[in-house]
């Protein structure tokens, strides 16, 4: 997933290429854990590519609400990482409360799959409200919703005006994104209420009209 666009990697094609050229495939599911696939189990699971992907890495710090990360791989590769991965060897292990919090996060994900469904419903709602307000919103594959406005100053001003209206919509500028594609990066979560999302889209629309990022008549 490219985390500024909410774009999903063409993993089937990558796996095909890897098998043609004998390469290993590692997938970073940092943005997909708890979000993509059945029960939020990630893109590899969604596409049924568990047998074709060598390593899945992820973070416990995003949807799972904890800290640290993980690598899912063969027992042999795990052994190699434990003995050779410098960040693992030369750092202190995760504190037990952090491990407990991560396991609790996983248990919530397993026991309450409706949270993932709510997340996607909220993302669709936010996209729909923005589109109804006159924004061109790409049909997204992820709950990350980029509102591209172009120039960096415009994105910053829009972000500040949205913030003044109670909406946290971060401005993302070059070099994080390509010149001319500065944007607000919105993220719908399962914890948002319908009214919050409607308010957010409305406030961003009002701010965009005020700064000239949207025509006043729309
Ligand atoms: C794609 C991707 N991988 C890995 C990470 C690292 O996660 P953490 O900050 O928990 O180390 C991030 C964090 O933003 C990310 O976006």
Q: How far is the CA of 64 from the centre of ligand 1 (A)?
A: 12
Give yes or no for a contact between 180 and 154, defined as CB atoms under 8 angstroms apart.
no
Q: How far is the CA of 168 from the centre of ligand 1 (A)?
A: 20
Any ligand 1 atom below 6 A from CB of 69: yes
The burial class, CB within 10 Å (0-12 / 13-18 / 19+), for 58 is: buried
Query: 192 an active-site residue?
Result: no
> Hey, what are 9's tokens?
């990697």
Distance CA 217, CA 209 (A): 9
Distance CA 32, CA 72 (A): 14
Distance CA 187, CA 98 (A): 25
Helices and strands in the chain: count of H runs, count of E runs: 8, 6
Q: How far is the CA of 15 from the centre of ligand 1 (A)?
A: 22
pTM for the structure as a whole: 0.89
Of all atoms in ligand 1, which is nearest to the CA of residue 61? 10
pLDDT in tens, the chain (218 residues): 566 777 899 999 999 999 999 999 999 999 999 999 999 999 999 999 999 999 999 999 999 999 999 999 999 999 999 999 999 999 999 999 999 999 999 999 999 999 999 999 999 999 999 999 999 887 777 899 999 999 999 999 999 999 999 999 999 999 999 999 999 999 999 999 999 999 999 999 999 999 888 876 64
Return the residue whose CA atom lies nearest to atom 15 of ligand 1. 30
Any ligand 1 atom below 6 A from CB of 71: no
């Amino acid at each position: 997933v490219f985390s500024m666009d909410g774009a999903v990697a063409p993993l089937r094609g990558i796996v095909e290429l890897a098998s043609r050229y004998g390469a290993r495939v590692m997938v970073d599911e940092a943005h997909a854990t708890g979000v993509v696939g059945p029960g939020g189990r990630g893109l590899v699971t969604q596409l049924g590519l568990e047998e074709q992907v060598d390593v899945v890495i992820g973070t416990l710090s995003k949807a799972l609400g904890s800290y640290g990360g993980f690598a899912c791989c063969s027992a042999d590769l795990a052994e190699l990482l434990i003995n050779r991965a410098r960040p693992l060897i030369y750092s202190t292990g995760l504190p037990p409360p952090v491990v407990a919090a991560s396991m609790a996060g996983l248990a919530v994900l397993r026991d309450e799959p409706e949270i993932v469904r709510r997340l996607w419903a909220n993302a669709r709602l936010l996209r729909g409200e923005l589109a109804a307000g006159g924004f061109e919103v790409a049909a997204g594959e992820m709950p990350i919703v980029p509102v591209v406005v172009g120039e960096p100053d415009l994105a910053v001003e829009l972000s500040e005006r949205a913030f003044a209206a109670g909406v946290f919509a971060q401005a993302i500028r070059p070099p994080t994104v390509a010149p001319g594609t500065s944007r607000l990066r919105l993220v719908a979560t399962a914890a948002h209420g319908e009214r919050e999302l409607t308010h957010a889209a409305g406030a961003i629309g009002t701010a965009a009209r005020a700064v000239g990022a949207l025509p006043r008549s729309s």
